[in-house]
Structure 1
Amino acid sequence: MSLCALLFAIVTWQVIAEGPLRDADERLGPWITGSRLPDGAAEFLADLGGVAVAAPVLAAVAAWTAWRGRLDGVFRWWLAPVTAVVAMAAVPALVIPLKVLVDRTGPAGMDGSGYYPSGHTATAMVAYGGAALLLLPHLRGTYARRELVIACALLNFGVGLGLVRRGYHWPLDVVAGWLLFGMVLQVMVIVIARYGRGSAEECGPAQE
C-alpha cells in the first residue's frame, strides 16, 4: 500500500506541476490513440468501466456471496459484501474532489477539465477487483484462483487501454485510478481479514 501511495503522490505532483512525467504522458497519449485497435473494440472496453455496466456486476457478486456465506453459516457473512459496496461508494467520494483539485484538461477533442483521475478506471478497478476478491474464497484450487486474478487484471487493463485509445483520458489519468483504488482494495482485504476470517476460525468448532 505504501508503494501505491508513493507512486500516486508522485504522479499527481507531476501532473499538477506540469513536470517531465506529464510531458511524456501527453506524448504517449496520441501514440496510443493512433494505434490499430479498432474503434468499436476500444469503445466496448471503455464502456466496461461505466457505472451502468460495472456496478451491477459487483452488486450481483456481492449478493451471491452474501447468500452463500449465510447459507454456509459463515461468521459475519455480510462483512465482505458490505465492504465491497462501501469501496464502490468511495469512488465518487475520492474521485470528484481530486478532479476538482487537479483540474486537468483532457486530450484533444475533449471539452473542459477534470480528467484526473479517471472515474471509469476507478469504477472498473473496484467493481471487478472487488468481485474477484469476493469470489476467491469460494474457488477451489490454485489454478482457478490464479485465472480469476489474471482475468481481473486483463479486464482492468483493457478498460484503461480503451479509454486512452478512444481519446477520453491521458494514460496517467488511468494509472492514477489504478494506484488510488488499488489502495482501496488493499484496505478491503485488510478489513475482511481482520474482522471476518479471524473471528470465523474462533467460532468454527461451535458450528460443527
Structure 2
Amino acid sequence: MMALTALFGLITWQVAADGPLVRLDERVGESLFRRGPAALTQLFSDLGGVPVALPVLVGAIAYALWRGARRLPVYAALTMAAVPALVIPLKVATARQGPLTEAVNYYPSGHTATAAVAYGASALLLLAVDRPAWLRAWLPPVAAVLLTAATGVGLVLHGYHWPLDVLASWCLGPVLLAPLWWAGRRRAANGR
C-alpha cells in the first residue's frame, strides 16, 4: 500500500505542478484517443459510472447482510462514500483540463475510482461471507480487476481522461479498500 500511496502522491504532485510527467502523459494520451470501437470504449467507460457500479455494490452489501455480516457492509458503504469525499476536492484543487475539452477538474478519474471501490468492495464482501459452491474464491477479485481495468482503458481510449488520471485512481482504489480487506480477513479469522 505504501508504494501505491507514494505513486498516487507523485502523480498528484506532477499534475498540480504541471511537471514533466504531465507532458509525457498528454503525448501518450493523444496517441491513444479515439482508438478502438467507439461503442465498446463507451461501454467500458460506463462501467465506472454510479448507475452501473453502485447497484453491483448494493447487491453485494445486501447479499453480505443476508449471509449474516453486519459490520462489513457498513464498512463497504463508508469506503464507497470516501470516493467522492476524496476525489471531488482533488479535482477542484488540481483543476486539470480534460482531453478533447476546455473543461477542467478531470484529475483523478472519478469513474475509475468508483469502479475500483465498488467492484473491489463487492469482491471483498463476497470473499468474507459464505458463498454458493459455484462461486469460486478467485472469481470476485478477478472480475473486480477486469471491470476496473476495462473502465480505465475505455476512459482513455474514448478521450474522456488522460492516462495519469486513470493510473492515479487505480492507485487510490486499493488504498481505500485496504481497511475493508483487513476487516474481512479479521472476520474470517474469527470464524464469523
Task: Give the TM-score taking structure 2 as reference length.
Answer: 0.92
Distance 2:102 2:183 in 1: 39
Give, in angstroms, the shift of residue 18 of structure 1: 1.7
Residue 79 of structure 1 contacts residue 192 of structure 1 at CA under 8 Å; is this kept in 2?
no
Q: Which runs of 4+ in 1 moved over 6 A?
A: none
Residue matched to 1:131: 122
Residue 34 of structure 2 contacts residue 159 of structure 2 at CA under 8 Å; is this kept in 1?
no
Alignment gaps of 5+ in structure 2: none
In structure 1, which of residues 121, 127, 130 is the aligned counterpart of residue 112 of structure 2? 121
Give secondary structure in 1 for the equivalent of 2:48. Answer: coil
Alignment gaps of 5+ in structure 1: 70-76
Determine whether 1:31 maps to 2:31: yes
Residue matched to 2:10: 10
Cα-to-partner distance string for 1:125-162 (whole Å, 9 max, x where unaligned): 11101101111233589x92223322221111100011
Cα-to-partner distance string for 1:146-202 (whole Å, 9 max, x where unaligned): 2332222111110001111111110100111111121000121123434x345x34x
Give secondary structure in 2 for the equivalent of 1:117. Answer: coil
Count of paired positions: 190
Residue matched to 2:61: 62
Residue 46 of structure 2 contacts residue 52 of structure 2 at CA under 8 Å; is this kept in 1?
yes
In structure 1, which of residues 161, 176, 183 is the aligned counterpart of residue 168 of structure 2? 176
Larger radius of gyration: 1
Determine whether 1:52 maps to 2:51: yes
Determine whether 1:98 maps to 2:90: yes
Distance 1:89 1:149 in 2: 21
Distance 1:34 1:53 in 2: 23
Residue 125 of structure 1 contacts residue 181 of structure 1 at CA under 8 Å; is this kept in 2?
yes
* RMSD of equivalent CA atoms: 1.8
Distance 2:84 2:34 in 1: 30
Percentage identity across aligned positions?
A: 46
